[in-house]
Amino acid sequence: MTEAIADRLRGVGDYDRVAIAALHGEPGIRVSLESLGDGPVDIFPLFMSDGFLTRTRIPSLMGTDPSDPRIRYHRPVGCHAAMPGLVAAEIGALCRSRDLDPGSATILIVGHGSSRPSASRDGAEAIASGLRRLQRFGTVETAYLEEAPRLGEWLAACRPDGPPIVVFGLFLGAGQHASVDLPEVLARHREVLSSRIVAMQTMLGNVEALADLVRSIADEEPQIAPARRAKL
């Protein structure tokens, strides 16, 4: 997902260079940052919430003073006000692919969650609230993989009869949670709820929309010149 978004940004031709960095693995954040040279750099964390990793861990790995005037460190893309609309568009497309009226469905938003005070939960609840305000869906509920209400508990409490359920994972990329954990929990309940769980998408998948969101975040904020910037 990260590389696909970077490729999309390279393709629009607005930026001198576009690099990616991994929190775990290669290329590391410091290496990618150094590869962009001495010009101004916009850093966009591809996370759904603004917690320890984005506030503390990533800045500590940058290898430069966060107040460096050439660095513009943005909030995670998942915290942008446009994210509920982007998620709603993907859920709407998922419903249409199943010939399902979104207004009749229960939308279950699945977030990461945490056993500690959780920015992940706050981010997921903010997106769920945004979806409710759009008034496109029957009901919008939330569940989590690592805190209450846990996904398995939410599903276990469901009756076999009721409105159709559309499950949507708030994950950026096919990591452990999106590709393994979420599907495994659903599989344990799918037989009992086979008539209700009609659609599932474990992560955001609209690369073009996510790349456009990254571009809009930069455009909305004050420029530090020149107009052409590097992206990390």
- 129 and 144 belong to one structural domain: yes
* Whether residue 73 sits in one domain with residue 143: no
Q: Which structure tokens are listed for 114?
A: 């945490």
Residues 123 and 187 in one domain: yes
- For 169, list phi and psi in degrees, rounded to 5: -90, 130
Residue 85: predicted pLDDT: 96
Whether 75 and 87 share a structural domain:
no
- Expressed as residue numbers, the domain containing 25 is 2-79+207-231
Q: How many domains does the chain have?
A: 2
Amino acid at 118: S
Average pLDDT over the chain reads 87
Element of type H or E holding 106: strand 106-111
Residues 195 and 150 in one domain: yes
Residue 228 has pLDDT above 90, yes or no: no
Number of H helices, E strands in the chain: 10, 7
Could you say which DSSP state residue 206 is in?
A: -
Looking at the structure, tell me whether residues 61 and 117 fall in a common domain.
no
Radius of gyration of the chain (CA): 19
Q: How is residue 22 written in tokens?
A: 């991994």
101 and 160 in one domain? yes
What is the enclosing helix (H) or strand (E) of 124? helix 119-134
pLDDT at 157: 93
Higher pLDDT, 161 or 127: 127
Judge whether residue 78 has pLDDT over 50: yes
Residues 174 and 102 in one domain: yes
Instruction: Looking at the structure, tell me whether residues 13 and 109 fall in a common domain.
Output: no
Q: Say if residue 101 is in the same domain as residue 146.
A: yes
Alpha-carbon distance values, 26 to 19, 100, 154, 211, 212 (Å): 12, 42, 37, 21, 25
Q: Is the pLDDT of residue 48 over 70?
A: yes
Q: How confident is the model at residue 232 (pLDDT cuts 50, 70, 90)?
A: low
Residue given tokens 């869906």 in the structure block: 137
Does 194 share its domain with 92?
Answer: yes
Same domain, 166 and 105: yes
Greatest C-alpha distance within the chain: 61
Angle at 190 between CA 161 and CA 186, to 5 degrees: 120
> What three-state secondary structure class fits 116?
coil
pTM over 0.85: yes
Q: How far apart are CA 91 and CA 95, in angstroms?
A: 6
CATH number where 49 lies: 3.40.50.1400
